[in-house]
């Protein structure tokens, strides 16, 4: 049973504790799911999470608009990741894919949110390109004005939910200024002519992922989210909300690794006593517990600060993401070690955690990029 004492920390309100309890009970009944067909599994997870009401925090409620609750987003990702990485992924993409619409969308664009929050439409966030991953401002994809339309041409890659999403938030160069100030954001329905899946991408912890081709994709100017040239700012505002939630997913993986380790160390007999009696194993367990608590403090500090109305939490979110993902990698590695041969056996839970955690140190800003962000914010 995962440690739940952190829910008593002053970052949370009663509604957060209640949400975490209800979600955990739902997860215990419904997860993990079969991962053999990730497309089908993700569609099914989104439908079932939506039906149970657990996708509501991913986007603004158009009937009762208010800010996104980052603590609920983090608690949800942490809980889902502890039970099933694919469930966390399915939840996270509903938020990341619609974040720009929640924060900057027009009332017409926000009509999509009722569907994504109910699990009736899947969303994706298309920022990265083959030539510009970390160097986002250097993107090539162009959106050219043509009368009352924009025509998008170029490629996006590493797009989570690519191929199964119903709508894409797409960033493209509109050229108001060089670099970051010449990019705009667009809402593009998946069935828009010219938008094609160029390649499906297979990674160590499989989930729906694709390279997308935009072959003269024509959309009305009303598809633009926010103002011309504001795309980079919009992308960074969305990441400001969701970056600490990546740390929360890592925290969920790490908590699961510690739970599995405690079970193993208590039940496995070596040299006539439980594995736990070996002091070096106790040392590993102490470090795992310490990393987990420290990561949780940074994550919920960032989430609480944002929820209290801070316009930006760039430093707090970068620290939370960097520390939680890097330390979760260490925690899981220790879990693999303590499980011995079983730890690397395909299909074992700690083997899958070992694969699941790796990409979190790369996407939404690699660990090295977070260090640059923290250093710049610290110098300020």
Ligand X SMILES: Cc1cc2nc3c(=O)[nH]c(=O)nc-3n(C[C@H](O)[C@H](O)[C@H](O)COP(=O)(O)OP(=O)(O)OC[C@H]3O[C@@H](n4cnc5c(N)ncnc54)[C@H](O)[C@@H]3O)c2cc1C
What is the rounded distance in angstroms from the CA atom of residue 143 to the CA atom of residue 217? 9
Q: Does 366 help bind ligand X (rule: CB under 6 A)?
A: yes
| 364 classed as catalytic | yes
Single out the segment in contact with ligand X by CB under 6 A; choices: 21-29, 80-88, 333-341, 361-369.
361-369
Tell me the residue nearest to ligand X as measured from the CB.
Answer: 133
Shortest spacing between CB 131 and ligand X, in angstroms: 8
In Å, how far are 126, 179, 304 from 4, measured between CA atoms?
Answer: 35, 45, 18
What is the rounded distance in angstroms from the CA atom of residue 250 to the CA atom of residue 246? 6
What is the rounded distance in angstroms from the CA atom of residue 225 to the CA atom of residue 69? 21
Shortest spacing between CB 283 and ligand X, in angstroms: 30
Q: Does 362 help bind ligand X (rule: CB under 6 A)?
A: yes
Q: Does 221 help bind ligand X (rule: CB under 6 A)?
A: no
- Is 72 or 161 the residue whose CB approaches ligand X more closely? 161
Short-list 105, 370, 43, 60, CA closest to 239: 370
Q: In the structure encoding, which two tokens stand for residue 252, read together?
A: 């969920």
Shortest spacing between CB 236 and ligand X, in angstroms: 13
What is the rounded distance in angstroms from the CA atom of residue 40 to the CA atom of residue 154? 28
Element (H, E) at 306: helix 279-307
Short-list 77, 154, 158, CA closest to 125: 158
What is the rounded distance in angstroms from the CA atom of residue 135 to the CA atom of residue 247? 22
- Is 248 or 292 the residue whose CB approaches ligand X more closely? 248
Residues in contact with ligand X, shown as a per-residue x/- string from 190 to 219 under the rule CB under 6 A: -------------x-----x----------
- Is 133 or 154 the residue whose CB approaches ligand X more closely? 133
Single out the segment in contact with ligand X by CB under 6 A; choices: 240-248, 265-273, 348-356, 366-374.
366-374
- Is 168 or 300 the residue whose CB approaches ligand X more closely? 168
What is the rounded distance in angstroms from the CA atom of residue 193 to the CA atom of residue 205? 31
Q: In the structure encoding, which two tokens stand for residue 263, read together?
A: 């079970």
- Is 205 or 335 the residue whose CB approaches ligand X more closely? 205
The count of chain residues that interact with ligand X, using the rule CB under 6 A, is: 19
Of residues 149-188, those binding ligand X (CB under 6 A) = 158-160
Shortest spacing between CB 181 and ligand X, in angstroms: 19
Shortest spacing between CB 70 and ligand X, in angstroms: 19
Of residues 77-136, those binding ligand X (CB under 6 A) = 125-128, 133-134
Cβ contacts of residue 11 below 8 Å, gap of 6+?
71, 300, 301, 303, 304
Element (H, E) at 27: helix 14-30
75-93 exposure pattern, b = at least 16 Cβ within 10 A, e = fewer: bbbbbbbbbbbbbbbbbbb
Shortest spacing between CB 59 and ligand X, in angstroms: 16
Largest CA distance in the chain: 80
Of residues 288-347, those binding ligand X (CB under 6 A) = none
- Is 130 or 340 the residue whose CB approaches ligand X more closely? 130
Residues near ligand X (CB under 6 A): 125-128, 133-134, 158-160, 203, 209, 359, 362-364, 366, 368-369, 372
Residues with a known catalytic role: 364
């Amino acid at each position: 049973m995962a440690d739940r004492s952190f829910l008593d920390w002053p970052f949370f309100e009663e509604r957060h504790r209640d949400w975490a309890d209800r979600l955990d009970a739902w997860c215990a009944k419904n997860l993990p799911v079969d991962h053999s067909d990730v497309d089908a599994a993700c569609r099914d997870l989104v439908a079932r999470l939506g039906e149970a009401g657990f996708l509501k925090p991913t986007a603004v409620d158009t009937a009762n608009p208010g800010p996104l609750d980052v603590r609920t987003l983090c608690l949800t990702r942490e809980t889902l990741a502890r039970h099933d990485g694919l469930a966390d992924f399915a939840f996270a993409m509903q938020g990341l894919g619609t974040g720009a619409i929640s924060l900057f969308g027009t009332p017409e664009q926000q009509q999509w949110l009722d569907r994504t929050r109910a699990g009736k439409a899947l969303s994706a966030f298309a920022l990265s390109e083959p030539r510009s991953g970390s160097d986002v401002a250097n993107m090539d994809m162009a959106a050219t004005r043509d009368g009352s339309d924009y025509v998008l041409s170029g490629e996006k890659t590493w797009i989570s939910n690519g191929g199964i999403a119903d709508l894409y938030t797409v960033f493209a160069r509109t050229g108001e200024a060089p670099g970051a100030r010449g990019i705009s954001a667009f809402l593009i329905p998946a069935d828009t002519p010219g938008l094609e899946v160029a390649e499906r991408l297979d990674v160590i912890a499989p989930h729906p992922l694709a390279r997308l081709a935009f072959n003269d994709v024509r959309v009305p100017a009303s598809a633009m989210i926010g103002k011309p040239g504001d795309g980079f700012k919009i992308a960074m505002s969305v990441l400001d909300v969701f970056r600490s939630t990546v740390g929360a997913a890592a925290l969920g993986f790490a908590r699961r690794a510690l739970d599995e380790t405690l079970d193993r160390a208590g039940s496995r007999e070596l040299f006539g006593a439980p594995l736990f009696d070996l002091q070096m194993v106790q040392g590993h367990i102490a470090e795992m517990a310490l990393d987990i608590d420290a990561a949780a403090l940074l994550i919920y500090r960032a989430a609480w600060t944002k929820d209290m109305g801070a316009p930006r939490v760039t430093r707090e979110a970068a620290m939370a993401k960097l520390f939680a993902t890097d330390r979760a990698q260490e925690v899981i590695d220790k879990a693999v070690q303590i499980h011995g041969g079983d730890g690397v056996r395909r299909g074992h839970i700690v083997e899958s955690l070992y694969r699941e955690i790796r990409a979190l140190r790369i996407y939404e800003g690699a660990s090295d990029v977070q260090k640059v962000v923290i250093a710049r914010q610290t110098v300020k």
